[in-house]
Amino acid sequence: MKPIEELQTEHRAIESSLKILSAICDRIERENLLTNPEHIDGLIDFFRVFVDQCHHRKEETQLFPALESRGMPGEENPIKIMLTEHEAGRAFVRDMAVSMSQFREGNIEALMRLVHNGRSYINLLVNHIRKEDAVLFPLADDRLTEEENARMAAEFDRIEKEEVGEGRHEEFHAMLDRLGEFYVRV
């Protein structure tokens, strides 16, 4: 699989996680209650590891520099925008984790902050993914050579094995399947 296809496949998993988060936020708003905090914990772990340490790391350390070397400026659209959005996403995930900690300490109002940060993260990533799929990835497909794609694919494998950990992708996909059945029931 070409690196761009791999990133697009990861986008589909991220979109699934966002649908689950949205359903959880709906329940919290409807019931003013979080009955399964471990589900949010699992999603936060997914956002930190799968989305950030794996997916965004692949883009930031491999794809974006490769595009810059092929003439796409990093200080102008779209790479700078993507990097800024990655940072904004990290902040929303941190704030969701803080809200969960406060909720566990008995602060019920923290649930509404969780919902606010969750919905903000969803909106950010839905639009971010749309831009990458429609603009950045087609540019990458046009500009990157077979040699660059092969080098990037090898580095993607290394990131998954050495930095994320063997089997983590499969664990995350299994969690998304379970939570999807529970919340989304597609």
For the chain, 186 residues long, give each residue's pLDDT as a single digit of tens: 899 999 999 999 999 999 999 999 999 999 988 989 999 999 999 999 999 999 999 999 999 999 888 877 655 567 888 999 999 999 999 999 999 999 999 999 999 999 999 999 999 999 999 999 998 999 899 889 999 999 999 999 999 999 999 999 999 999 999 999 999 874
Query: In angstroms, rounded to a whole number, what is the distance separating the alpha carbons of residues 10 and 3?
Result: 11
- The DSSP result for 100-117, as a single string, is HHHHHTT-TTHHHHHHHH
What is the model's pLDDT at position 76? 54
Query: In angstroms, rounded to a whole number, what is the distance separating the alpha carbons of residues 174 and 50?
Result: 13
What is the model's pLDDT at position 73? 61
Q: Which two tokens stand for residue 12?
A: 């589909």
The three-class DSSP label of residue 5 is helix
* Among 54, 64, 61, residue whose Cα is nearest residue 160: 54
Amino acid identity of residue 12, one-letter, is: R
What is the model's pLDDT at position 112? 96
What is the model's pLDDT at position 1? 86
Helices (H), the chain: 3-31, 37-46, 57-58, 64-69, 79-104, 110-131, 137-143, 146-158, 168-179
* Among 141, 143, 164, residue whose Cα is nearest residue 4: 141
All structural domains of the chain: 3-184 (1.20.120.520)
DSSP secondary structure letter of residue 35: S
